[in-house]
Amino acid sequence: MKNFIIVSALFTASVFLFITMIACGSSQKNISDTSYEESEVRIYEVYGMDCPGCHGGLENLVNKVPGVKSSRANWEKQSLQVVLDSENDVDDQSIYEAIKKANFTPGERLQ
Amino acid sequence: MHKIYQITAIALFTAFLLFTELFSFQSASAAGISIDAGLTPAENRWIFRSQVRYMQRDNDQLGSQREMKAYMFPVVIAYGLRSDLTVMARQAFIRREMSMMGQSTTNSGLGDLLMLSKYRLIRINTPGYTLGVAPTLGLEFPTGKDEFTSSSYDLHFGSFFSGRLRSLGMDLNITYIWNGMAETGGAAVDPGNEFSLQAAFAYQVGIGSYSNFALAPVLESSYLKISADSEDGETLADTGESILWLSPGFKITWSSFIFESLVQFPVWQDQEGLQTERDPTFLVGIRLMN
């Protein structure tokens, strides 16, 4: 039992190290850092997200759609905010396809 | 650039596992928190999962003071090959100390490699609820160290069911392991097959204004039935067991990280013949997703 506590403590320490490292990396794609100037912002309903862990898979796929600058999902609001490059004409269908590839279901476009 | 941080983090975590090996303790078996098993990940998504599990067996019914303490460090890497198909690989490092009449021996090494696939059979997402059903099929290869390998190709199959009702999550997992499906001739004993049933409940509580942090208390109930081993067609005495666990725990999700912990209390167990009994199993784990 004593050994388990020691190993768990080491394990937990490695977890925090993990989180710190990844937080440093993931902060670069934070939508709040994105300038909205000359950008179009859309909001879609997305069903099927049940925790913050769902965000990354969805955002990665949506971010790959040509013309998408960044995106942010919100599992509690069941929504996805997408920032588009104004120079590209991105159709909703491309966003819907990306949502489906993430195993979620698109609802209405709210904005 | 952030990928460099992720690769560095994984390298550091691997170093941690190697460190614990050098630090040396004891060894183990089994899976972990079963939440989300029925929900297949997004296409092209990587999931890295690792745990520390500690288990112990004592209360020797033979009276020879047999005892076993075991650590297990399973690492699972999963990848969303398509939105409806996930492939996974699981490799565990095991350290086990067995003692009898005051004499003890310690063994450590890798267990067998498990390759598993999961198919999205049903996925229904609505504003009110989510439902997922995903059958699995896998093969365990006899790649482990002598003390930890089954010396056979073992077939794993089962089905995962996941339901979400707003913040309430319910999961049901059924798994069957056909041990000794194809023998390699490395061992005379044919290990018994395993059937397991897990039911899990979790309640997600979002914390903070950005919805990237959530805490979920978890309650699992698990049943495991391991058939008796056999040799030359004859059932071996003092092998085979049935256990029912009740396991409270929690899961913390922060963006692409999940930290989880669980204590499995054996509330009922039926050990065939004169075997040791299982004590509570302790588990802490992480999941990292891209």
Nearest beta carbon to residue A100 from set B8, B83, B255:
B83
Mean pLDDT confidence for A99-105: 96
Residue of B123 and B180 predicted with greater confidence: B123
Token readout for B116 is 């598993």
What span, in angstroms and rounded, lies between the C-alpha atoms of B91 and B109? 11
B63 Cβ neighbours under 8 A, 6+ residues apart = none
Do the beta carbons of residue B134 and residue B152 sit within 8 Å?
no
To the nearest whole percent, how much of chain B has pLDDT over 70? 87
pLDDT for A82 equals: 96
B168 Cβ neighbours under 8 A, 6+ residues apart = B201, B202, B203
B7-58: pLDDT as tens digits: 565 555 555 444 443 333 333 334 556 677 778 899 999 999 999 999 999 8
Q: Which amino acid is at B80?
A: G
What span, in angstroms and rounded, lies between the C-alpha atoms of B219 and B169? 10
- Minimum distance, in Å, between the CA of residue B189 and any CA atom of chain A: 32
Chain A residues with beta carbon closer than 8 angstroms to that of B25:
3, 7
pLDDT for A19 equals: 56
To the nearest whole percent, how much of chain B has pLDDT over 90? 66
- Contact criterion met (CB < 8 Å) for B130 and A101: no
CB atoms within 10 A of CB B96: 22
Strands (E), B19-128: 46-58, 67-82, 85-100, 103-110, 113-119, 122-125
pLDDT bucket at B231, cuts 50 / 70 / 90: confident
Do the beta carbons of residue A62 and residue A98 sit within 8 Å?
yes
Using CB atoms within 10 Å of the CB of residue B22, give its burial: 0 to 12 exposed, 13 to 18 middle, 19+ buried.
exposed
pLDDT for B275 equals: 87
Q: Quick check: A54 pLDDT over 50?
A: yes
For an interface test with A, the pick among B130, B212, B264, B286 (most A C-beta atoms closer than 10 Å) comes out as B212
Q: Quick check: B273 pLDDT over 70?
A: yes
Do the beta carbons of residue A64 and residue A98 sit within 8 Å?
yes
Nearest beta carbon to residue A25 from set B5, B25, B52:
B5
Put simply, whether B39 touches A (Cβ < 8 Å) is yes
Residue of B180 and A8 predicted with greater confidence: B180
What span, in angstroms and rounded, lies between the C-alpha atoms of B106 and B93? 14
- Of B2, B10, B211, B254, give the one whose Cα is nearest residue A27: B2
Nearest beta carbon to residue B42 from set A25, A26, A101:
A101
**Average model confidence (pLDDT) across chain B:** 86
- Of B183, B170, B137, B182, give the one whose Cα is nearest residue B156: B137
Mean pLDDT confidence for A25-44: 63
What span, in angstroms and rounded, lies between the C-alpha atoms of B255 and A55? 7
Q: Quick check: B145 pLDDT over 60?
A: yes
pLDDT for B25 equals: 33
Residue B59 gets which letter from DSSP? -
pLDDT for B290 equals: 87
- Minimum distance, in Å, between the CA of residue A10 and any CA atom of chain B: 8
Q: Quick check: B83 pLDDT over 90?
A: yes
Q: Quick check: A32 pLDDT over 70?
A: no
Residue B240 gets which letter from DSSP? -
- Contact criterion met (CB < 8 Å) for A58 and B8: no
B165-208: pLDDT as tens digits: 988 999 999 999 999 888 777 667 888 999 999 999 999 999 87
Put simply, whether B129 touches A (Cβ < 8 Å) is no
What span, in angstroms and rounded, lies between the C-alpha atoms of B237 and B275? 10
Chain A residues with beta carbon closer than 8 angstroms to that of B280:
none
For an interface test with B, the pick among A15, A16, A49 (most B C-beta atoms closer than 10 Å) comes out as A15
